[in-house]
Amino acid sequence: MDSFIWKVYSRRSALCSLEKGQALLHSIDDCGSRLEWRIIIRAQNSSFMEGDMIKAVHAVVGLGLLCFGASQVAVAQDISKLPRVKQTLVAPPNVPVHDQVAKGGPKIVEVRMETTEKLMEVAPGAKVWGLTFDGSIPGPLFVVHEGDYVELTLVNPKESSLAHNVDFHAATGALGGAGLTLVQPGEEVVMRFKAIKPGVFVYHCAPGGTMIPFHVISGMSGAIMVLPRDGLKDADGKSYTYDKAYYIGEQDFYLPQNADGSYKDYSSPAAGMADMLEVAKGLIPTHVVFNGAAGSITGDNALSANVGEKVLFVHSQANRASYPHLIGGHADLYWVGGSFSDTPLTSQETWFVPAGSAVAAAYEFKQPGLYVYLSHNLIEAVLLGAALHMNVEGDWDDNLMTQVSAPAGFDASSAMDH
Ligand SMILES: [Cu+2]
């Protein structure tokens, strides 16, 4: 980082001590109070990280000398020289084109996203006014590297009926950005945050009060992947690269029903809000689906891979827990809580997505065939929709599994002898 703002209570001793120190004093300003000054300290080289800067400030300022009660008030960085790149978002389960290991230093990653309200089919005969980011449920996955800046332009089209915003669990402060991004229909806003935590994280709309669960259970969430600059590491600390990545956003819906069991239709999102929240209060979803609709990732839309390919699955659930499981496979690596700072667990049969989070798991496919990836609450998977298909091509390995004898009748009398 370049610079660091620190609030101090003694202008003169700040100046004296900073001149002796290892960080450079950039400026010192009156904070509007006669008892406080704001000092801006510049790092001497660009590799200075935030932790180094805090240490330097402590070393330079010295708690006993002047800084009793001093507090860090803001981090300011001259980012005008950073390169800017635009990230083109794609609808899940696909992920944007990205480098696993960052090329060069931190960047400003510009992303444009629209809050789109549209009637969507969750299952045959079951429609919801989807409150979406970029028209998909979930919203698109962003991919950046630790230390990059995400500069989001959030656009709420004129045709919208509601105000929307974004709370990024990857961001720091201001309700994850929700406090800075509330846009009314016909407005757009630009908000920038620094991705300081490596991992996968949910983002979701959070316009306040009952609007928060209403928007989230109407589809308004997505995820961001913040890769370490040098890429992922396996459980032994060795570099790990994946051959492809998919983003699965799991969504619970609470659709109001008529007396005959059919699903109600509404003329607008607001028209169905009270009924939907009433169903939601019972905490029993009518649908739990991947990517917005039951069966949305099956048939021609099934995921695909080849034997020998390592696939990274990012799985998010903004509102409830989930239990991803790959039938006939495993998570070779599972990053608990989605944190890439921590060593991944290995050889997991089922992994866990806490409510309001994204996690990542990776698997190298060893057998061909049609796989089912589901939430291993089998009621949710089979009856409510939380399942997808994956076609894997390659050669079957008899050593890993074989059918020793095909199903055939057996002699009941001889079986009785045993
Ligand atoms: Cu919203």
Domain boundaries, the chain: 3-74, 84-229, 249-393
User: Has 16 been annotated as catalytic?
Assistant: no
What is the average pLDDT across 60-72? 39
Ligand 1 centroid from CA 36, angstroms: 40
> From ligand 1's centre to the CA of 185, what distance in Å?
11
Catalytic residue of the set 1, 113, 114, 164: 164
Specify the range with the lowest mean pLDDT, choosing from 23-37, 153-167, 204-218, 293-307: 23-37
Q: Is the pLDDT of residue 372 over 50?
A: yes
Each residue's pLDDT tens digit, 297-326: 999 999 999 999 999 999 999 999 999 999
* Percentage of residues of the chain with pLDDT beyond 70: 80
User: Mean pLDDT over residues 344-355, rounded?
Assistant: 98
- Which listed CATH number (3.90.79.10, 2.60.40.420, 3.40.50.720, 3.90.1170.50) goes with 84-229? 2.60.40.420
Average pLDDT over the chain, rounded to whole?
A: 88
CATH topology of domain 3-74: Alpha-Beta Plaits (3.30.70)
Does the structure show a pLDDT above 50 at 210? yes
Pair of tokens at residue 192: 């920038």
From the list 58, 98, 376, 389, the catalytic residue is: 376
Whether the pLDDT of residue 331 is over 90: the answer is yes
What is the Å distance from ligand 1's center to 163 Cα? 6
- Asked if the model's pLDDT at residue 62 lies above 50, the reply is no
Ligand 1 center from residue 220 Cα (angstroms)? 6
pLDDT for 16: 47
Fold that domain 249-393 belongs to in CATH = Immunoglobulin-like (2.60.40)
Asked whether residue 103 carries a pLDDT value surpassing 90, the answer given is: yes
pLDDT confidence of residue 411: 86
Active site residue 330: no
Question: Residue 37: is its pLDDT beyond 60?
Answer: no
pLDDT classification of 78: cutoffs 50, 70, 90: confident
Task: Say whether 164 is catalytic.
Answer: yes
Confidence at residue 54, expressed as pLDDT on a 0 to 100 scale: 54
Band of residue 73 on the pLDDT scale cut at 50, 70, 90: very low
Quote the ligand 1 centre to 1 CA distance (angstroms): 33
Q: List the catalytic residue out of 2, 36, 114, 167.
A: 167
Q: Does residue 165 or residue 39 have the better pLDDT?
A: 165
From the candidates 113, 117, 215, 273, give the one annotated as an active-site residue. 215
Q: Which residues of 16-54 are buried (b: 16+ CB within 10 A; e: fewer)?
A: ebbeebebebbebeeeeeeebbbbbbbbeeeebeeebbe
Q: Region 320-347: what's the mean pLDDT? A: 98
Return the pLDDT at 21: 45
CA–CA dist 112, 106 (Å, integer): 19
Greater model confidence, 78 or 66: 78
Distance 216 CA to ligand 1 centre (A): 7
Q: Among 41-55, 147-161, 202-216, 235-249, which is the least confidently predicted range?
A: 41-55
pTM score, two decimals? 0.81
Q: What is the pLDDT of residue 28?
A: 56
Residue 315 is a catalytic residue: no
Same fold, 84-229 and 249-393: yes
> What is the rounded average pLDDT of the residues 88-103?
98
Catalytic pick among 220, 225, 273, 390: 220
- Catalytic site residue 273? no
What are 375-416's pLDDT values in tens digits?
A: 999 999 999 999 999 999 999 999 999 999 999 999 877 656
> How far does the centroid of ligand 1 lie from the alpha carbon of residue 76, in Å?
30
183 CA distance to ligand 1 middle (Å): 9
Please state, in angstroms and as integers, the Cα–Cα distance from residue 356 to each residue in 85, 118, 187, 253, 300, following that order.
29, 23, 27, 15, 30
| 166 CA distance to ligand 1 middle (Å) | 8
Q: Specify whether 220 is catalytic.
A: yes
Mean pLDDT of the region 99-125 = 97
Could you confirm whether 418 is annotated as catalytic?
A: no
Separation of 140 CA from ligand 1 center, angstroms? Answer: 15
325 is catalytic: yes
- pLDDT score recorded for residue 413: 77
pLDDT band of residue 265 (cuts 50, 70, 90) is: very high
Average pLDDT for 141-162: 98
